[in-house]
Structure formats: structure tokens, C-alpha cells
Amino acid sequence: MTDATHKSAFDAARGAGDTKKPSLIGRTLIYCGLVVVSFIMLYPLLWMVSSSLKPENEIFSTTSLIPQNFTLEAYRRGWNGLSVSFGWMFFNSLVISVLVVIGNLISCSMAAYAFTRLKFKGRGFWFALMLGTMMMPQHAVLIPQYLMFLKFGWVNTILPLVVPKFFAIDAFFIFLMVQFFRGIPRDLDEAAVMDGAGPLRIFLKIILPLSMPVLATAAVFSFIWTWDDFFAPLIYLNDIEKYTAQLGLRTFVDATAQSDWGALLAMSTLTVLPIFVLFVLFQRLLIEGIATTGMKR
């Protein structure tokens, strides 16, 4: 029965496009328009990739996307040009991102389970408060947070970037999971209760296995946002050996001396690559995770 409603909504959404087919000329115009707009949107990205393959003096002298003198020199310079190999920064980024993903998945799913399935005093209030934290600008809490971590002696370590994520601080992910968990029929919980399972067993054996789409979504977003983050590492990491890839990119641009644009663009291209691959691989899951509010049975 749930299946049927799902299907019909889906069909309706898909069918809406081809109820009225425009003429051949109309379609050609539409596609031309779309191609032009797509190109405009993509141009900066394409420029970055092509410039990373050009010699330094060609980058700003031509707008052409095709390198006249193809070279991988910028990649070599970018990878080895700093006092620490760029590969090391990649590794730092990876460690932080993976830890954040793990922390978010564990803590946010537990918080979401509590908000959807456990009864406790002031549940509604705490949920609203939790959602309220999403509205709070990051900059408002930055200084108190920094001072706190300074007191802990955590500045210039990855701890401020990772440890808080194990305490369910990302309200967005909790919210996303709450929405998904709400769609899992309560009958399943009750059947498990009849089977003698307690809250923990229900969470681990019933809820989590059924929540793969939303967990994947949270994992991918969590990874991308941490990987892309420039601000937090900038605040908390001082030594170049601890830099993430994003901080590494910054070091190629120098306000006083010569900036190495070629190396910057080459490393930027490499930095985008993992995210791009991740997105392509998980695109279907992402959409499912966001779109699925109900459970398919």
C-alpha cells in the first residue's frame, strides 16, 4: 500500500515532463539554451583544470580553455613545492574527514533515535532547541569556542575539529535522520519489543540497517563539508605538517611575494577530484536519502 502511493507520486513527477512534448525546433532551442547556461556555470571549473595544464605565463595571457603548451609541471611543483608534500596534507584532510564522518554517524543517529523513539521529559523542547542551533551563526560561537579549546590545550591539534562531532553537534544531520526514522513504521519497533528486544537492540538491529540511505547521505555530506572546510582548520591548525589540503592551497597564494598560480590550480584540481568521485558514486543514494521520508516496504 505504501508502495503504491510511492510509485504513483514518482510516476506523476516523472510523467509531468512528457505530458506535452514541445516541437523539434522548440526542443532544439531549449537544449541550446541549456548547453549555454551549463557552459557558463562550468567555465570556472574548466578554466581551473585547463590552467593547471598550462605553463605559468600562459594562465592569464589567454582565455582559451585548450592549453597551447601542454605541461604537467604545475602538478610536480604543487605536490613537492612546499616544505611538506601536498600528499601529506591530503592525508591529514582524509584523517579528519573520516573521523568526522564516523563521529557524526554514531552520535547523530543515536540522538535522532532518542528524539523519535524514546520518551523523555521535555523531548519537544530539546528538539526545538537543537533545531535552533542550526540558525546560530558560526561566527557568534567562534571566539568562546576557541577560548575553550585553548584552555583544553587542544589548539594546534585536530581534536577541536573531530571530538565535538562525537557529541551530535550537527543539528542538520540529526534532523535529516529524525525525518527518516519517523518514516520507519512503529510496528517494527513493537514487533521487536514483543520479541524481547530493548531500545539498544532495536536501534542496532532494526533501525540502523533500515536507515542505510540516510546514513549514506549524512556520511557523504559530512565528508564533503569537512573536506571542503577551510575556516575551522585555519583557526585551529598552526603547523604546516598539520595542514589540511584546503589550508595547503592557501600557501600557494602569497600577498607579499610571488604567488604560484599554476601549482594552486593544479592542487585545487586534485582536491576537487575525491569529492567529484564521491558525488558521482553516491549521487543516487544522496537523492534517495533526502527524498525518502517514508519507508518502502
Partner 1 sequence: MTTLALNKIEKRYGATEVIRGVDLKIDSGEFIVFVGPSGCGKSTLLRMIAGLEPISGGELQIGGERVNHKAASERGIAMVFQSYALYPHMSVYKNMSFGLETAKMPTAEIDARVRQAAEILQITQLLDRKPKQLSGGQRQRVAIGRAIVRDPKIFLFDEPLSNLDAELRVQTRVEIAKLHADIGATMIYVTHDQVEAMTLADRIVVLRAGEIEQFGTPLEIYNKPANKFVAGFIGSPKMNFFDVTVTRQQAGTTTLGLAGTNIVVPKIDTTVDAKLCLGIRPEHITNDAKDGVALADLTVTHVEHLGGQTIVYGRMADGQSINVTLDGQRTVHPKDTLKVGATLDNCHFFDAAGQRLG
**Residue 197 or 234: which CB sits closer to partner 1?**
197
**Closest CA relative to residue 57, chosen from 292, 262, 282, 289:** 262
**Residue 44 or 124: which CB sits closer to partner 1?**
124
Least distance to partner 1, CB of residue 119, Å: 11
Least distance to partner 1, CB of residue 47, Å: 46
Least distance to partner 1, CB of residue 6, Å: 13
Least distance to partner 1, CB of residue 122, Å: 17
**Residue 99 or 208: which CB sits closer to partner 1?**
208
**Residue 7 or 296: which CB sits closer to partner 1?**
296
Structural Rg of the chain based on CA atoms: 24
Pairwise CA distance, residues 292 & 2, whole Å: 12
**Residue 155 or 188: which CB sits closer to partner 1?**
188
- Contact of 223 with 113, CB cutoff 8 Å: no
Cα distances (Å, whole numbers) of residue 134 to 129, 198, 203: 9, 32, 25
Binding site for partner 1 (CB under 8 A): 1, 185, 187-188, 190-197, 201, 205-206, 209-210, 295-297
Pairwise CA distance, residues 98 & 214, whole Å: 17
Least distance to partner 1, CB of residue 121, Å: 16
Least distance to partner 1, CB of residue 3, Å: 9
> DSSP code of 21?
P
**Residue 123 or 205: which CB sits closer to partner 1?**
205
Q: Which H/E stretch holds residue 76? A: helix 73-80
Q: How deeply is 222 buried, as exposed, middle or buried, from its count of CB atoms within 10 A (0-12, 13-18, 19+)?
A: buried
- Contact of 93 with 273, CB cutoff 8 Å: no
